[in-house]
Amino acid sequence: MQNGAKIEYDYSVAKAFTFATILFGIIGMTIGVVLAFQLAFPELNYLAGEYSTFSRLRPLHTNGVAFGFTLSGIFATWYYVGQRVLKVSLKESPFLLAVGKLHFLLYFITILLAVVTLFMGITTSKEYAELEWPLDLLVVVWWVLWGVSIFGLIGIRRERTLYISVWYYIATFLGVAMLYLFNNMAVPTALVSGYGSILHSVSMYAGTNDALVQWWYGHNAVAFVFTVPIIAMVYYFLPKESAQNVYSYKLSILAFWGLLFVYLWAGGHHLIYSTVPDWMQTMGSVMSVVLILPSWGSAINMLLTMKGEWNQLQTNPLIKFMVLASTFYMLSTIEGPIQSIKSVNAIAHFTDWIPGHVHDGVLGWVVFMIMAALFHMAPRMYGREIYSKSLMETQFWLQTTAIVLYFTSMWIAGITQGMMWRAYDEYGSLVYSFIDTVTVLQPYYTIRAVGGSMYLVGFFMFAYNMYKTATAGRVLDKEPVNASPMAA
C-alpha cells in the first residue's frame, strides 16, 4: 500500500463473530430466563423430561453466555479494533485473513458441539470447565489461531506504539491459555482402561488440589473473559464515540499491571471455610480487597474521560451504555471484595447474593459494553447509520430497570438465606429447616425471573436494531469519525 493511501479494513471476520455474539446471546440468555422461572416454579423442571431439568440446562446457560456470547464479542471487537489501532488491514495478509476465518469456523463448530454434548449430559461437572476432552482440544486449536492473529497483526503493524487496548487483548490470550491448559488436564478413561465412553475423562487433580486449581481457574476465567477484554473495549470505544482522549494513559498502564498481578491470587476466596490451607483462604481475601485499586483505577479513568462532556449522556445512548457499564464495573468490583471478607463470606457463601453479584457484573458491565461496542462498529462495518435511536433508548432503560430488579432481589434473597441458615434458638438448634428458606425466597425468585425476562426482551431489541442497521439503515457516504450516526 502506498504511503498516505487510505487503509481499507477487512471486516469479514468481525461481521461473522458479530453474528455469533447475537446468536449465542439469545440462546444463553433465553435459557437463563427459563432457569430463573424454574427456581421460582419448580414444576417447570419437567417440561421435557431430563432435557429440561435445572441441572441439565445450567451449564448451557453459563457456557452459552461466557464462552458463546462473551467470547464472540471479544473476538468480534478484536478483529475490528486490532486492525484500526495497528493501522493495518487483514486484506494485506491473505495468511492472517485465512487464520481469522478458520478461527471463526472452528470456534463456531466447538460452541455448537458444546450445546449438543451438554444437552446430552456429557460433562466433566467442573464449573465453567464442563466440556469434555475432545472439545478441550478443539478449544486449544482455535485459541492458538487467535494468538497467531494477534501477534501476526502486531508483527506487520504500521503504528509503532501499542495502544492500551492491545495490551488487554494480549493479556486475555495469555491468561486464558495458561488457565485453560492447567485446569483442563484430564485422563480419557476409555483410552487408559478400555472401559466406558470415549468421551469421558477424569481430572488430573483430586480432592483439595482439584478445588484449588479449579477456583484458580474459575475466578480468573472471570478475570480474563469478563474483565480484561471488556476493559480493552471500553478503552477504545468510549474515547472514539465521545471524541475525548483517555483521561490518563499512565493510570491505564498502572491499572493494567495491578489487575494482572493481583487477580491471579484472588481465587482462594471461593474456598473460604473449606479444607484448603487457611493461609490460602486469607491470601484470597486480602488480594480480593487489594483488587479494588486496579479495578477502580480503570473505571474511574473511563468516567473521568467524560469530564466536561457529560452533556453527551443526553444525546448519545451509546455513551449511556458505556458510562453505566463502567459504573456497574465499579459496583461489582467493590461488592466482590466485600463478599470475600471472611465474616461477610460466612453469611454470603452458597447464597443467592453470589449470583446477584455475578449478574450485576455480567449484565451491567459485560453485556452493556459488548452491545455498545457492536453498536459503534455497525455503521463502520456495514456503511449504514444505526436503524433506530429511540429503540436503543428504550432498550437502555428497559435493561437498566431489569438489572436493578435482578440484583436487588438477589441481594435480599441471599442475605435472608444466610441469616436464616445461621439462626439458632436458645437450645442451640436451628430455627429454620432448609425448606423454610426455600419457601420464603419464592417471591424474590419471581422478581428475578421477571427482571431476566425484561433484560431478554431488551436483548431482542438490540438484535433487531443491529439486523435492521445492517440491512435497512440509511447508507452513509463516508465513515463517521466519532459519534455514531443513528436514525431517530
* pLDDT value at residue 307: 93
* pLDDT value at residue 1: 53
CB 305 within 8 A of CB 239: yes
Of the candidates 335, 312, 332, the one whose C-alpha atom is nearest the C-alpha of residue 322 is 312
* pLDDT value at residue 315: 93
Q: Which residues of 381-398 are buried (b: 16+ CB within 10 A; e: fewer)?
A: bbebbbbbbebbebbbee
160 versus 1: which is more confidently predicted?
160
For 440, what's the count of Cα atoms within 13 Å in the CB-facing half-sphere?
A: 17
Of the candidates 289, 288, 292, the one whose C-alpha atom is nearest the C-alpha of residue 300 is 292
Sign of CA dihedral 11, 13, 17, 19: positive
Residue for grid cell 477487512: 10
* pLDDT value at residue 194: 87
pLDDT at 270 over 70: yes
pLDDT at 57 over 80: yes
pLDDT digits (tens, 9 = 90+) for 336-393: 999 999 999 999 999 999 999 999 999 999 999 999 999 999 999 999 999 999 999 9
Q: Please state the separation of Cα 224 from the chain's center in Å.
A: 9
Percent of the chain with pLDDT over 90: 95
CB 258 within 8 A of CB 213: no
Amino acid, res. 100: G
Residue for grid cell 488457565: 179
Element (H, E) at 186: strand 186-188
pLDDT at 4 over 60: no
| Cβ contacts of 45 within 8 Å, gap of 6 or more | 38, 52, 53, 54
Question: What residues does each domain of the chain span?
Answer: 1-159, 163-349, 369-488
pLDDT digits (tens, 9 = 90+) for 245-256: 999 999 999 999
If one looks up domain 163-349 in CATH, what number appears? 1.20.210.10
pLDDT digits (tens, 9 = 90+) for 213-226: 999 999 999 899 99
Paired with 424 in beta bridges are: 430
pLDDT at 316 over 70: yes
Residue for grid cell 490518563: 248
Percent of the chain with pLDDT over 70: 99
Rounded CA separation 149/99 (Å): 7
Q: Taking each helix axis from N to C terminus, what angle separates 249-263 and 228-242, rounded to the nearest 10 degrees? A: 160
Sign of CA dihedral 327, 174, 336, 250: negative
pLDDT at 3 over 60: no
pLDDT digits (tens, 9 = 90+) for 11-30: 999 999 999 999 999 999 99
> Which cell numbers in the block locate residue 205?
487433580
pLDDT at 65 over 80: yes
